Homo-oligomer: A and B are copies of this chain.
Amino acid sequence: MAVMAETPETGKNAPPPGSHVWRARAPFRLESGAVLPALALAYRTWGEPTRNGENTVLVFHALTGDQYAWGSHPLTGERGWWDFVIGPGRILDPERDFIVCINCLGGVMGSTGPSSVDPVSGRVYGPDFPQVTIRDMVRAQLMLLDDLGITRLRLAVGGSMGGMAALTLLQEARERVAAVAALAVGARHHAQQIALHALQRRAITQDPAWRAGRYREQGVAPEAGLALARMIAHLSYRAPGELQQRFGARIRKENASRIGEPPLYEVESYLAHHGHKLVRRFDANSYLLITQAMDRYDLAGPDQSLAAALTPAAGKRVFLASFETDWLYPKAEIDELETALREAGAVVTRIHADTPQGHDSFLLPHAAWMEPFAAFVTALRQA
């Protein structure tokens, strides 16, 4: 296995703790035609690959996620974002599976992105980083797997943007993957999802500290803008019923009785907490990049039907989950995807889980989705 051969210390910057860094051997051409002269992807693995890697599970992270799906996060000290899914005796088990999680192209935890130095100009890319697509992200990860000698995947899995990537991988490399699981995501981005991202992008670019994207060289950062973007996003990730139950209309801090100092509501304080947390570990330009990639996501594209675009799914096992309280990626959009996958000949396992936390449900332990997902994974091992 090439796993260890590809690890650290060859690059200029130390990789994030516990991560390997893969570097492309040639310039990487994006879907747009733009070329990245250098491409690095940081990743983590757990478990050992069998001879041909056929026990490999590729886990894709969501918008602001990263390769720290399991174990503690080096910046926040918090547990990995899927630590209840991965681990000995858990659904994805390092004692049986070879689990790979790669920081996406454009991400902030060691992969090439807007914070990287452009080898041509010698300065940080910043706003000049080219637009990328989910397909670009997936192709880069497939090249990484090539270099690791992983020719087969038992499963590619992810939620939200991670699910976009898993489904795109099925289109890109059907011969390499036995099954795909996509949680809380449909076949393309719709107007409201795009609008929410556009509002988040404006929150960033309207922050005067954004400096047209050159904040890093100028020693500032659009922290208020990025925090507001995250607050808008986080609200879209949760569900009104849950928020009402947890926070209601309670005021945390009354402030003055003048309108210039509005009261701080508990629900606002909760969102602000999540905004500030993201600011400590994320980059505004990466946020712009990744939301743009998600907004361009469309498995079908303009010239073909969704079912036609999904013909690579024929005979493949696909697990789809939607969540009753997810108003960002609602049930109807997962229904559309399910119908097209079945039409294309995929063997679909579909669940619709009545969890309270909206879109974020796939990031929280709920038997309603974990039990059927565990059964799906177990069946794959026996296949």
Contacts of A243 in B (CB 8 A): 190-192, 195
* B288 and A249 contacting across the interface, CB-CB below 8 Å: no
Q: How many copies does the complex hold?
A: 2
1/0 per position for A182-209, CB-CB distance to B under 8 A? Answer: 0000001111101110110111011110
* B271 and A195 contacting across the interface, CB-CB below 8 Å: yes
* A206 and B190 contacting across the interface, CB-CB below 8 Å: no
Complex: A196 Cα to B243 Cα, angstroms: 12
**Chain B residue with Cβ nearest A34:** B257
Interface of A is mostly: helix
Contacts of A376 in B (CB 8 A): none
* B201 and A203 contacting across the interface, CB-CB below 8 Å: no
Complex: A225 Cα to B34 Cα, angstroms: 34
* A195 and B288 contacting across the interface, CB-CB below 8 Å: no
Which A residues between 203 and 226 are near B, CB-CB below 8 angstroms?
A: 203, 205-208, 212-213, 224-225
**Does any Cβ of B come within 8 Å of A72's Cβ?**
no
* A188, A207, A268, A271 pick with most chain B CB within 10 angstroms: A268
**Does any Cβ of B come within 8 Å of A339's Cβ?**
no
Complex: A201 Cα to B271 Cα, angstroms: 13
A94 to chain B, nearest CB (A): 35
* B130 and A247 contacting across the interface, CB-CB below 8 Å: no
**Does any Cβ of B come within 8 Å of A100's Cβ?**
no
* A235 and B190 contacting across the interface, CB-CB below 8 Å: no
**Does any Cβ of B come within 8 Å of A127's Cβ?**
yes
Known interface pairs A190-B240, A192-B244, A240-B190. Does A288 touch B260 (Cβ–Cβ under 8 Å)?
yes
A61 to chain B, nearest CB (A): 19
* B127 and A265 contacting across the interface, CB-CB below 8 Å: no
**Does any Cβ of B come within 8 Å of A65's Cβ?**
no
Q: Which 5 A-B pairs have the closest CB atoms?
A: A127-B260, A198-B268, A191-B243, A192-B240, A213-B260
